[in-house]
A and B are shown apart, each in its own frame.
Chain A
Amino acid sequence: MAIDLSRFQETFFEESSEHVETIETGLLQLEHRPEDLELLNQVFRAAHSIKGNSGMFGFTAVGELTHKMENVLDGLRNNEMEVTEQIIDLLLQALDGLKSLLEVARGSGTADEEAIKTIETKLLAYQNGTERERLEAGGPRAEVQDKGATPVAERPAVPARRLVTIMWVPLPELFQRGLDPGRIFQELASLGRIHTLTVNADRLPDLPAMDAEVCYLSWTVELETEKPLKEIDAVFDFVRDESELTIAEPSAPQPPASQEMGEDEHKRLGEILVEEGEITQAQLETSLSKQKRIGEILVEDHEVGPRKITKALEKQHRLDTVARAQRGETTSIRVGTDKIDKLINLVGELVITQSMMANLTQTFTMDQVPLLQERVLELERHSREMQERVMSIRMLPIRTAFRRFPRMVRDLAIKNGKQIQLVMSGEETQLDKTVIEAIIDPLTHLIRNSADHGIEPPEERVARGKPVQGTIKLDAFHEGGNIRITVEDDGQGLNWDKILAKAKQLGMVAEGEPLGKKEVWQLIFRPGFSTAEKVTDLSGRGVGMDVVKRNIESLGGTVGVQTREGQGTKFMIKLPLTLAIIEGMTVRIGREGYIVPLVSIIESVRPTKDMMKTIVGKGEVVSLRNMFVPVIRLYDLFAIEAEFTNPVQGVLVLVEAEGTKVALMVDELVGQQQVVIKSLEKNFQKVEGLAGATILGNGEVAFILDVPGLISLAKNGSSVLV
């Protein structure tokens, strides 16, 4: 039984992606600080590690490409070449190729082999260029050239897919040595496709004479694989001493039937037509570009609305994600050993406290009550600390999300002919891994928007008296129980008139409808809204800001925008630190408890009679320091029986969501506690006004209020369905 390599491969991919990131950031910084040798060394080391590791796992293509990158880097290191924008560009391209090759090695994605070849040739050309110069100068290190050239020649011919016949006759003692033939077949199957598996039961005696611990069977396997015989042979490493084994390749190396089939199965119609010379590749591509997505066709035929399509697409995406997860692409977090050590310590403490309590309860007398209380307190302290520590494992610095942006901004700037610098701060701010992963897409979109539409072309900037180089600022910081991320540019800002005109044109705003400043800016978050005159491949299609908003809201966050025409735009994102646990205030209405998320609570008051006012057509308000806040009677909204129906007897909890303040009327404040959010949707469905449920200390279920939902519920009137 061979060692399960896949386990180590996972580590390899993880490490490689870290190295790739190191190389990427390194190269980008190198562009600005070409003389920084330490930086260069760092990049070199990362490339070297990838090369070494990939060799170990037999990913030759990865190894070759990194080798060539390494040679160029080596040249830079030895001052044989200078760091120029072209070289950095080329190395970045090579890095992209490397990423795709790693994906392929991982078993997903495709690599543009042509492009990689071109890059490799270019890399070689760079290296050889300097080599020649040095040779002309009579330099001694001529072998470097060979180093660069050999891998191509060395590239082992990959054996074609063929049928390999394996005859395996294990010794009768196979089972007694604890070996399982099933495992062997599983491993064989992982090398290719098992075509036929024949069991030879000739040696099997009659039932009375049979010994269950003796292996009488032997097998003949026809394995369809492209793997070399050596690898197949390795599968039998552990049973070789106990078996007779013959592995035979077919005399004709490629069984034509299966070969043909294997390829044709994956061929597309267009490819075949091109192959048969009916059309050219160019024709095929023009025709393919005319092809529309099914969603677009359906919308055009008015079969379904665009919203339904978006929804369906989201569902598809979710399903894909699930499928990917099921394919075994596990995500993992690297955790510092110190964190784990501390956790183990804590677990130890917890176990000790628990056994002390067990002891205590066995011989419990009433006079030991204080002691018991003390122990319970200790237990509480430990479990709370443990909870915090476990949560902190999920916390990662937001740097992991930020570090892809310098490259993106650089590429966008070059493509658009602009000069843009990206200033990032607060990269060490920690937040939940799931939040980080989910925030990447919206952030990418906002930054792209800034680079594409926000920052003006250089001449325009000069004309406006701004510095030629535009600036995009990305910042993250903690504030209360939230994390705030801002994306700010010093570009042209949003255009009030243009947005309004466009909204009218799209029928989102009625003519003459009065709109406040806030409402106009909110228009850009509507589905289908875009004022861009030029549609690029990345932005301006009118899908985007609405998705940004929805993504952020699905994380329980909010997004706002501030803009000044001609001076820039600032997007502000507010997110919860974690999705699993919130700090909540338990309130009581009648006999039922509800949790109000603490982050949305501003204050709570018991109003006096003259603070309560009724406004005709607007309902009830409470006057607080000359501010009128609408009152939502929760018992009314939820149709439950409350102890008090007069606000003067109850308590008003002032909450804020999306810039709107309301006062929730409850019977009593019970207390503050951390609650674990449980999904209602998992077994039931979303209930308006409720963000989820939690389980209280007494085992009962209590609902967590969804403040934005409550506000809209109160606005639209309650929707009781009976």
Chain B
Amino acid sequence: MTIETANIVDQQISQKEDEDQYLTFMLGEELYGVDILRVQEIKGYSKLTRIPNTPAFIKGVLNLRGAIVPIIDLRIKFTMEQVEYTMFTVIVVVVVRDRIMGMVVDTVSDVLFISGKDIQPPPALGRKVDVSFISGIARSGENLVTLLDIDRVLTDEEMEQVATAQE
């Protein structure tokens, strides 16, 4: 048994009641986390089919074992600089309100145990900066992890707009 797995076992044993597991991933230099229970799977980036007349952050749809799954580029969504997709680019498939959706992220980094008391509410950055899809900020060793409220990220007004415009 390697030290790493031993650590995980340790962690699992020491997991307390108010601790949740988060899948963390990188977008540029930043570390983000989502509730692991919402993650269905992680898969490599593969060719998507673009959907006409949809916002740019919707990269297209993917055939996930027979289901048509929309894929969202979080970089575009968060108005970050776009990068070329590489062999490390992955799609995190999550379940949002009974729907399956995918998020394109730079790399997946780790699974962290974060206890409720280590999570700070998102900072108020004035009205110009929308922090509604951030559920909190947590410290993990040296790093800060931005925890995302996945429901809000993937079903916010922009998506609603698309929906209403089509009625």
Cβ-based interface call for B7 (8 A): no
A686-B51 Cα distance, complex, nearest whole Å? 11
Please name all residues of chain A whose beta carbon is closer than 8 Å to the beta carbon of B56 when the two chains form the complex.
722
- Tell me the residues in window 52-74 of chain B with beta carbons closer than 8 Å to chain A beta carbons: 52-56, 60-63, 66-70
A721 within 8 A of partner (CB)? yes
Query: How far is B161's CA from A682's CA once the two chains are assembled, in angstroms?
Result: 18
Q: How far is the CB of A121 from chain B (nearest CB, A)?
A: 53
Decide: A638 and B53 in contact? CB cutoff 8 A.
Answer: yes
Please tell me which stretch of A278-286, A476-484, A688-696 contacts chain B, meaning at least 4 of its Cβ atoms lie within 8 angstroms of it. A688-696
**Residue among A684, A685, A690, A701 making CB contact with B52, cutoff 8 Å:** A690
Within 8 A of B (CB), among A697-720: 699-703, 718-720
Tell me whether B99 and A683 are in contact (CB under 8 A): yes
Residues of A within 8 A of B53 (CB): 637-639, 687-689, 718-721
Contact A640 B66 (CB under 8 A): no
Are A687's CB and B51's CB within 8 A?
A: yes
Check B99–A684 contact: CB distance below 8 A. Answer: yes
The answer to whether the Cβ of B101 comes within 8 Å of any Cβ in the partner chain is yes
Q: Do A682 and B47 contact each other (CB < 8 Å), given the known contacts A638-B53, A701-B63, A719-B53?
A: no
Complex contact B162–A678 (CB within 8 A)? no
CA A693 – CA B166 in complex, angstroms? 17
Chain A residues near B51: list those with CB within 8 A: 684, 687, 690, 703
A592 within 8 A of B: yes
In the complex, the answer to whether B166 meets A700 with C-beta atoms within 8 Å is: no
Task: Scan residues 518-563 of chain A and give those whose CB is less than 8 A from a CB of chain B.
Answer: none
Q: Can you sample 12 A-B contacts with CB below 8 Å?
A: A637-B52, A678-B67, A683-B68, A683-B99, A684-B51, A687-B166, A700-B49, A701-B63, A703-B49, A718-B53, A721-B53, A721-B55
A684 CA to B59 CA in the complex, in Å? 12
Does B80 sit within 8 A of A, measured CB to CB? no
Q: Is the CB of A640 within 8 A of B52?
A: yes
Q: Which residue of B lies closest to A634 (CB)?
A: B52
Chain A proximity of B103: nearest CB distance (Å): 13
> How distant is A582 from chain B, measured CB to nearest CB, in Å?
16
| Residues of B contacting A693 in the complex (Cβ-Cβ under 8 angstroms) | 49, 61, 68
Is B111's beta carbon under 8 Å from chain A?
Answer: no
Is A246 engaged at the interface, CB distance under 8 Å to the other chain?
no
- For residue A680, CB closer than 8 A to chain B, the reply is yes
CA distance A638 to B67 in the complex (A): 23
B166, A701: Cβ atoms closer than 8 Å:
no
- Is B163's beta carbon under 8 Å from chain A? yes
How many chain B residues touch A (CB < 8 A): the figure is 28
Complex partner residue of A679 from B62, B68, B101, B162, CB under 8 angstroms: B68
**Residues of chain B within 8 A of A722, CB atoms compared:** 55-56
Instruction: Mark contacts of A633-675 with chain B using CB atoms, 8 A cut-off: 1 yes-contact digit, 0 otherwise.
Output: 0000111100000000000000000000000000000000000
The answer for the CA separation of A703 and B162 in the assembled complex, in Å, is 18
State whether the Cβ of B139 lies closer than 8 Å to any Cβ in chain A: no
- Work out how many contacts link A and B, with CB atoms closer than 8 A: 83
Chain A CB within 8 A of B100 CB: yes
User: Residues of B at under 8 Å CB distance from A?
Assistant: 47-56, 60-63, 66-70, 99-101, 159, 161-163, 165-166
Given contacts A637-B53, A687-B51, A722-B56, 11 further A-B contacts (CB under 8 A): A678-B68, A683-B70, A683-B101, A687-B54, A687-B166, A689-B52, A700-B47, A703-B49, A719-B166, A721-B53, A721-B161
CB distance from A177 to the nearest CB of B (A): 40
A472 to chain B, nearest CB (A): 36
Q: How far, in whole Å, are A679 and B68 apart by their CA atoms in the complex?
A: 7
- Max chain B CB contacts within 10 Å: which of A637, A682, A695, A721? A721
Question: Contact check: which of B48, B67, B159 meets A685 at CB < 8 Å?
Answer: B159
Q: Known contacts A685-B166, A701-B62; is A680 also within 8 Å of B52 by CB?
A: no
A701 and B161: CB pair below 8 A? no
Taking a contact as CB atoms closer than 8 A, the residue among B49, B100, B162 that contacts A592 in the complex is B49
Flag if B49 contacts A702 (CB, 8 Å).
yes
For A684, what are the chain B residues with a Cβ–Cβ distance below 8 Å? 51, 61, 68, 70, 99, 101
Nearest residue (CB) in A for B58 is A684
> In the assembled complex, how far is the CB of residue A714 from the closest CB belonging to chain B, in whole angstroms?
12
Chain A residues in contact with chain B, CB under 8 A? 592, 637-640, 678-680, 682-690, 693, 695, 699-703, 718-722
Using A719-B165, A721-B165 as known contacts, say yes or no to A682 and B52 having CB atoms under 8 A apart: no
Report how far A693 CA is from B68 CA in the complex, Å. 7
- In Å, the complex CA distance between A686 and B53 comes to 11
Which residues in B have their C-beta under 8 angstroms from that of A683? 67-70, 99-101
The closest CB in chain B to the CB of A684 belongs to: B70
Tell me which residues across on chain B come within 8 A of A685, comparing CB atoms: 159, 162-163, 166
Q: Which 3 A-B pairs have the closest CB atoms?
A: A638-B52, A701-B49, A684-B70
Nearest CB on A from B87, distance (A): 19
Which residues of chain B are near A680, meaning CB under 8 Å? 61, 68
Task: Name the B residues within 8 Å of A719 (CB-CB).
Answer: 53, 165-166
With the chains together, A592 CA to B63 CA distance in Å?
Answer: 15
Assembled-state Cα–Cα distance A582/B88 (Å): 38
The docked-state distance in angstroms from the alpha carbon of A259 to that of B30 is: 65
Residue of B99, B101, B159, B166 ringed by the most chain A CB atoms within 10 A: B166
Q: Which residues of B contact A721 (CB under 8 A)?
A: 53-55, 161-162, 165
Query: Which residues from A are CB-within-8-Å of B54?
Result: 687, 721
Contact B166 A592 (CB under 8 A): no
Q: How far is the CB of B63 from chain A (nearest CB, A)?
A: 5
Distance in Å from the Cβ of B122 to the closest Cβ of chain A? 27
Which residues of A lie under 8 Å from residue B69 when comparing CB positions?
Answer: 683
Which residue of A has the minimal Cβ distance to B102? A683
Bound state CA distance, A506 and B163, in angstroms?
30
A719 CA to B54 CA, complexed, in Å: 9
Which residue of B has the minimal Cβ distance to A694?
A: B68
The chain B residue with its CB closest to the CB of A685 is B163
CA distance A679 to B67 in the complex (A): 8
Minimum C-beta distance from B134 to chain A (A): 24
Q: How far is the CA of A640 from the CA of B60 in the complex (A)?
A: 13
Determine the distance from Cα of A718 to Cα of B101 in the docked complex, in whole angstroms.
26
What is the minimal beta-carbon distance from B82 to any residue of chain A, in angstroms?
14
Bound state CA distance, A688 and B60, in angstroms?
15
Closest to B54 in A: A687
Give A441 Cβ to nearest chain B Cβ, in Å. Answer: 23
| B49: min CB distance to chain A, Å | 4
A687 with B101, Cβ < 8 A, contacts A680-B68, A682-B67, A721-B161 known:
no
Q: Which residue of A lies closest to B70 (CB)?
A: A684
Contact, CB under 8 Å: B165 / A678: no
The closest CB in chain B to the CB of A693 belongs to B68
CA distance A63 to B162 in the complex (A): 57
Residues of B within 8 A of A592 (CB): 49-50
- Docked complex Cα distance between A719 and B50 (Å): 16
Report which of B52, B63, B67, B70 forms a contact with A700, defined as CB distance below 8 A.
B63
Residue in A closest to B101 when the chains form the complex, CB atoms: A683
Q: How distant is B55 from chain A, measured CB to nearest CB, in Å? A: 6
Instruction: Report the separation of the CA atoms of residues A592 and B60 in the bound assembly, to the nearest whole angstrom.
Output: 12
B61 contacts A682, CB within 8 Å?
no
Q: In the assembly, what is the distance between CA of A613 and CA of B110, in Å?
A: 61
Cα of A638 to Cα of B48 in the assembled complex, Å: 16
- The answer to whether A688 and B166 have CB atoms under 8 Å apart is yes
